[in-house]
Structure 1
């Protein structure tokens, strides 16, 4: 067990238009890996914080899209760390090919013609070592927190919830264009589940939400977005 004052260090990594995150506590986890070819910037960030690839205890993929899983195979090979994802998205990682994006907004409708192209849909395949279908405790990897299923953007989307209040949600929440405020994803396989998943991560212990694009956002900003939709 970690002590109450053992606060995790959150290290955001901007990989162009997508974010990855290193969380360092008694162990080190990597949340998402960016598009193919992002591994060097992630390794450089590790080195800047006095860490080596082999220090990574777990690689978590929030969902099986190229911009989040694209460098998982390379980083798995370099670090030896197991790769964890939800069972419902495991097939994307194993094939190295994401599913067709399903728009649930006007922005998503227009951007689908760019992001559904083969070049932006495929990536080096990787076999996930850990398949998640229920809350997964991270204590054995040196992190006080859990991985929780948060379906909506994809059927197998997951989020990471730290005991210290931070949440890492992948593409459950997208930045609105042009304001950058928190909004709903542009694409969703199960749009009816998005709101429930957002409410799940905004529990009483939640303080700040780190997203795959844009952010971070306060819990209050996200709940304001939810209340606005509920009032419609």
Structure 2
């Protein structure tokens, strides 16, 4: 689905991944779940593009509902996969730590689990090779993605800022819909390793002007970065 020229979304408010489309090729931000592969191929076809146009995958972090089909792209099509150095082990198979208990409601939890199963969540394959990045890096990929370190949800969580399409991809640095409660609106993401650090990390978004803020879970946000931060902070109280 086209959100704006050069900016496309695959998936829905449960799990989403995004494409930055330029004349020089395509950058994929996160790789969702394995079952998103078909939707990904369909989106490429609708654009008149193919897998040869995909120059790289940038992971906002190394959790299974974000690495999705990244290894398939890397292994079968030679597409490099970029991840923060602090999440490289997570993306390649290290078990994440137990996270604090989060509020949850049975309906949304079952909905998330069912959606993940239908999209091959149990078939997600860890990466066997990654390109390690750090906060402050500007990647040599279509759109020149800027890496913004957002540790907290995981040690190597990042946001990805692409000025060319006016978009800030925040992964699970925050959410606009909890997959555990079904509550919509800006709020801290569930399953976070260190909630206090995740909130502090949002300071790194100060000064970024983006027409679109795109979480891995929840609806796109178009109300500005500063207002989004304020609402996440209020929801955390």
Quickly name the TM-score band, shorter chain normalised: 0.7 to 0.9
Within a 5 Å distance, the mapping from 1:3-82 to structure 2 comes to: 9-14=6-11, 17-25=14-22, 26-82=24-80
With over 3 angstroms needed to count, the CA separation of the structure-2 counterparts of 1:98 and 1:155, relative to structure 1, is same
- CA root-mean-square deviation: 3.1
Contact 1:54 / 1:80 at 8 angstroms: preserved in 2?
no
Contact 2:10 / 2:18 at 8 angstroms: preserved in 1?
yes
Higher relative contact order (CA 8 A, sep 6+): 2
Partner of residue 212, structure 1: 216
In 2, Cα distance between equivalents of 1:16 and 1:136: 29
Structure 1 unpaired stretches of 5+: 1-6
Q: Please, which moves more after superposition, 18-27 or 175-184?
A: 175-184
Residues 159-208 of structure 1: CA distance to partner in whole angstroms, max 9, x if unpaired? 11112431001111121444411110112112122122223225242332
Q: Please, which moves more after superposition, 194-203 or 37-46?
A: 194-203
Structure 2 unpaired stretches of 5+: 114-119
Which secondary structure does the structure 2 equivalent of 1:106 belong to? coil
Residues 61-119 of structure 1: CA distance to partner in whole angstroms, max 9, x if unpaired? 11111111121111223432100001121112222x641451353239x96xx97xxx9
Within a 5 Å distance, the mapping from 1:1-232 to structure 2 comes to: 9-14=6-11, 17-25=14-22, 26-95=24-93, 98-103=95-100, 105-107=102-104, 123-138=124-139, 140-164=140-164, 165-174=166-175, 175-176=177-178, 177-217=181-221, 218-219=223-224, 221-226=227-232, 228=234, 232=237
> Under a length normalisation based on structure 1, what TM-score does the superposition of the two structures give?
0.81
With over 3 angstroms needed to count, the CA separation of the structure-2 counterparts of 1:190 and 1:46, relative to structure 1, is same
Contact 1:73 / 1:125 at 8 angstroms: preserved in 2?
yes
In 2, Cα distance between equivalents of 1:196 and 1:151: 9
Which secondary structure does the structure 1 equivalent of 2:28 belong to? strand
> Under a length normalisation based on structure 2, what TM-score does the superposition of the two structures give?
0.80
Contact 1:65 / 1:121 at 8 angstroms: preserved in 2?
no
Q: How many residues of Structure 1 are paired with residues of Structure 2 in the alignment?
A: 220
Which secondary structure does the structure 2 equivalent of 1:137 belong to? coil
In 2, Cα distance between equivalents of 1:204 and 1:63: 20
Contact 1:90 / 1:131 at 8 angstroms: preserved in 2?
yes
Partner of residue 4, structure 1: none
